[in-house]
Amino acid sequence: QRPVLRLLSCPGTVAEDLRRDEQPPGSVETGFEDKIPKKRFSEMQNERREQAKRTVLIHCPEKISEKKFLKYLSQHGPINNHFFYESFGLYAVVEFCQKESVHSLQNETCAPSKGIEAAIPFRSRFFNLKLKNQTSERSCVQMSNQLPPSSKKLFQVLCDAESIDDQLNTLLKEFQLTEENTKLRYLTCSLIEDVAAAYFPDCIVRPFGSSVNTFGKLGCDLDMFLDLNETRNLSTHKTSGNFLMEFQVKNVPSERIATQKILSVLGECLDNFSPGCVGVQKILNARCPLVRFSHQASGFQCDLTTNNRIALTSSELLYIYGALDSRVRALVFTVRCWARAHLLTSSIPGAWITNFSLTMMVIFFLQTRSPPVLPTLDSLQTLADAEDKCIIEGNNCTFVRDLNRIKPSENTETLEILLKEFFEYFGNFAFNKNSINIRQGREQNKPDSSPLYIQNPFETSLNISKNVNQSQLQKFVHLAQESTWILQQEDLDGPDTSGNRSWGLVALLLPSGANRKSVGKKKSKKATSEKIKVLLESIKSNRTENFTDTNGK
């Protein structure tokens, strides 16, 4: 059972202030522009990583006075920001201004003595606060739920929206990762890094995938990558002189075996020593070996890999695409929710389309518009400078990293048009002979007979949707055609004035079969409420979508 993660956000937190500050002067605040990052991916990652290293996670007693709690912790140094959340208990994330404060707190902390149980002493940044005298004061913090919106709320906000464009932006706003949730993701990686550092003192555990590529939905899994590059590079920093020292290392027959050995040891370590890591599974024979576990305190389902630098690079590429134009994320989130509502994606590994493949399809579609909404990967490569040059395992991963060097799109199509055209485009796509390729942004002949062929942008001989079978592809095509039809009907019917019709995006999210009637105006109230119930259920199941997701790995 996935723990429920709810955040208790403090009124006027530093995070909120920061977000306000990020608004460009004179811009109109609508609530989602602040989520469009303008920093380089590496800059953003380094900044967040550094913040996470100054941060501690504290399991708190249920009744706690926030004021006293902060006063107590401030003895160790000034606090930059903090928030509370609930996940089988009350937790606090506290970011100090200086890293030394964490050491100071650690030095004051004692290992628990639990009678017959023995504690394995491990110096972590995850604490358990016990109060000598229970306070009766209620905490004055405000609760803010970090799960996706309840289905009821989502339905309501979508129905209340003013236009289809407004619906798409609303959906994005409701589902995107919050500032606090992002902080918690970086903190979790940082806590795992502490464990891995016992073996590899210079390692870095970096989040990748939807946690950082701007396409993450609240509740999505946390993909992390153990980066041993620093350790590797140390051996190449040779100094001049008569003596050259190198590490004495053990050799294994292949890179894959090295990866399996590293992950195997870390899996054991997480299982045996790491506070809060449960359900550790070593999945070492997968194409990309990984250790899967649940981080109980944060509520995240985590996948730890190593030697997976290309996946980190594709996260960086998606980050750039997500940041280039505000329509991209709204469209991707909508297509992902649409696919989930129609059971095209699943939490169970299998022949379904994955969220990653869907994101690639949206990016490809946006490259084919005239004028294009997004540039091709080849053109991003042309814009690259010497600093951007990057070859990983013989694959060319060079592309421009500085967002300011990419010209904004001249395309002015609305989200409504783009959504309609997306369904029309893929409802008629020649999947039997053509492949999708974001490098060139145009259809190409399929190199093999896989039903759906989406070229991996960096390992160009790989198909990222190799797992998809013909029947799943057909289902996708059929639903895309049906959705085109629904949106055309919307045009014919004109705007709804009755106030209770499930229009626009809501009609698209309704299960197949219910759709045809839902666009017409002659439907009974009872039938509508039934359909809404089904919609609510399907969206609800979406909230645990990534609990066991291994698709495409």
Name the site residues for Mg ion (rule: CB under 5 A).
Answer: 209-210, 221, 223
Cis peptide before 371 (omega within 30 of 0): yes
Smallest separation (angstroms) from ligand CTP to the CB of 360: 9
Indicate the residue type of 304.
L
Q: If you ran DSSP here, which 8-state letter would residue 353 be given?
A: P
Indicate the residue type of 51.
Q
DSSP for 458-503, written as a single string? SSTT-BTTTT--HHHHHHHHHHHHHHHHHHHHHHHH----SS----
Select the residue interacting with ligand CTP from 56, 189, 195, 220 (CB under 6 A): 220
Residue 253 DSSP SS3: coil
Distance CA 289, CA 435 (A): 27
Could you give the angle at which helices 415-427 and 326-341 cross, rounded to 10 degrees? 50
Pick the stretch among 53-61, 209-217, 248-256, 263-271 that binds ligand CTP (CB under 6 A): 209-217
Smallest separation (angstroms) from Mg ion to the CB of 549: 7
CB 15 within 8 A of CB 179: yes
Indicate whether 546 belongs to the interface with ligand CTP (CB under 6 A): yes
Closer of 139 and 315 to ligand CTP (Cβ):
315
Smallest separation (angstroms) from Mg ion to the CB of 210: 5
| Binding partner selected for residue 10 from ligand CTP, Mg ion, none, CB under the kind-specific 5 to 8 Å limit | none
Smallest separation (angstroms) from ligand CTP to the CB of 497: 38
Which residues is 58 bridged to in the sheet? 92, 127
Select the residue interacting with ligand CTP from 315, 376, 395, 437 (CB under 6 A): 315
Indicate whether 354 belongs to the interface with ligand CTP (CB under 6 A): yes
Indicate whether 223 belongs to the interface with ligand CTP (CB under 6 A): yes
Indicate whether 542 belongs to the interface with ligand CTP (CB under 6 A): no
CB 54 within 8 A of CB 98: yes
Indicate whether 95 belongs to the interface with ligand CTP (CB under 6 A): no
Smallest separation (angstroms) from Mg ion to the CB of 208: 8
* Closest by Cα among 467, 511, 187 to 355: 467
* Closest by Cα among 195, 397, 201 to 308: 397
Cα dihedral angle (494, 496, 497, 502), rounded to 10 degrees? 170
Cα dihedral angle (268, 272, 276, 278), rounded to 10 degrees? 60
| Binding partner selected for residue 553 from Mg ion, ligand CTP, none, CB under the kind-specific 5 to 8 Å limit | ligand CTP
The dihedrals phi and psi of 283, each to the nearest 5 degrees, come to -110, 75
Indicate whether 361 belongs to the interface with ligand CTP (CB under 6 A): no
Indicate whether 188 belongs to the interface with ligand CTP (CB under 6 A): no
Pick the stretch among 135-143, 154-162, 276-284, 545-553 that binds ligand CTP (CB under 6 A): 545-553
Indicate whether 212 belongs to the interface with ligand CTP (CB under 6 A): no
Indicate whether 335 belongs to the interface with ligand CTP (CB under 6 A): no
What pairing do the DSSP bridges indicate for beta strands 6-9 and 142-145?
antiparallel
Residues whose CB falls within 8 Å of the CB of residue 506, separated by 6 or more in sequence, listed in order: 155, 158, 159, 167, 535
Smallest separation (angstroms) from ligand CTP to the CB of 216: 6
Smallest separation (angstroms) from ligand CTP to the CB of 400: 19
Distance CA 268, CA 285 (A): 16
**Cβ-proximal residue to Mg ion, closest one:** 209
Closer of 126 and 225 to ligand CTP (Cβ):
225
| Binding partner selected for residue 101 from ligand CTP, Mg ion, none, CB under the kind-specific 5 to 8 Å limit | none
Closer of 76 and 183 to Mg ion (Cβ):
183
Closer of 92 and 310 to ligand CTP (Cβ):
310
Closer of 101 and 546 to Mg ion (Cβ):
546
Pick the stretch among 64-72, 219-227, 254-262, 409-417 that binds ligand CTP (CB under 6 A): 219-227
What pairing do the DSSP bridges indicate for beta strands 126-128 and 55-60?
parallel
| Binding partner selected for residue 299 from Mg ion, ligand CTP, none, CB under the kind-specific 5 to 8 Å limit | none
Closer of 139 and 301 to Mg ion (Cβ):
301
Q: Long-range pairs for 30-34 at CB < 8 Å and ≥24 separation?
A: 30/169, 31/173, 32/169, 32/172, 32/173, 32/176, 32/326, 32/330, 33/326
Indicate the residue type of 132.
K
| Binding residues for ligand CTP, total number by CB under 6 A | 20
Closer of 148 and 552 to ligand CTP (Cβ):
552
Indicate whether 209 belongs to the interface with ligand CTP (CB under 6 A): yes
Taking the CA of residue 78 as centre, how many other CA atoms within 13 Å lie in the half-sphere pointing to its CB? 3
Question: Which of 286-318 are b and which e, b meaning 16 or more Cβ less than 10 Å from the residue's Cβ?
Answer: eebbbbbbbbbbbbbbbbbbbbbbbbbbbbbbb
Smallest separation (angstroms) from ligand CTP to the CB of 415: 21
* 335: number of Cβ within 10 Å: 24
Smallest separation (angstroms) from ligand CTP to the CB of 344: 13
Closer of 208 and 364 to ligand CTP (Cβ):
208
Indicate whether 210 belongs to the interface with ligand CTP (CB under 6 A): yes
Pick the stretch among 83-91, 140-148, 216-224, 489-497 that binds ligand CTP (CB under 6 A): 216-224
Rule CB under 6 A: which of 402-421 touch ligand CTP? none
Distance CA 504, CA 522 (A): 16
Rule CB under 6 A: which of 430-469 touch ligand CTP? 464
**Cβ-proximal residue to ligand CTP, closest one:** 209
Select the residue interacting with ligand CTP from 188, 301, 314, 450 (CB under 6 A): 314
Select the residue interacting with ligand CTP from 322, 451, 504, 552 (CB under 6 A): 552
Closer of 354 and 484 to Mg ion (Cβ):
354
Contact residues toward ligand CTP (CB under 6 A) are: 208-210, 213, 216, 220-221, 223, 311, 314-315, 354-356, 464, 546, 549, 551-553
